[in-house]
Amino acid sequence: MWYSIRTETMAHFVDQFRYKFNKETQILLFSVCITEHRVIEHSIPILLFWEMTDAYRSSHDYTSDVLKMKNSNGSVFLTIRENQLTRRSYNFNTSEFERLIGKFRRSVNFDDVDETIDLSS
């Protein structure tokens, strides 16, 4: 199963990251502001994103079919698979990535995450 990406042009994007969680589909819409005029949106299974943040908080790297996160020398590399042939990679400094995780944890209540979803399909 591959997850969608959407690129938009926005003249005003207050935060570098935005999250919108759909409880019914268990999909997180993760938006990253690249420039003042470009925002990239990724649709990611919420459980994978949650597991990735747990791994970071435990000082571990994380790899799944959709996400890969590696912490190295004050930088965090996050790669999101867009489809079978394409990945999008981000290089964050540690403080940016900690803000990313903090905003995510404030935006999504873990009680709404269905841990029984089969992510292999």
Mean pLDDT value of segment 78-90: 93
- State the pLDDT at residue 37: 81
- Span 27-66, pLDDT tens digits: 999 998 888 788 889 999 999 999 999 999 999 999 999 9
Asked if residue 8 has pLDDT above 60, the reply is no
Let me know how many helices (H) and strands (E) the chain has, helices first. 2, 8
How far is it, in rounded angstroms, from Cα 53 to Cα 97? Answer: 10
Asked if residue 70 has pLDDT above 90, the reply is yes
How far is it, in rounded angstroms, from Cα 20 to Cα 31? Answer: 9
- State the pLDDT at residue 38: 84
- 97: β partners: none
Contact indicator for 100, 94 with CB cutoff of 8 Å: no
Asked if residue 94 has pLDDT above 50, the reply is yes
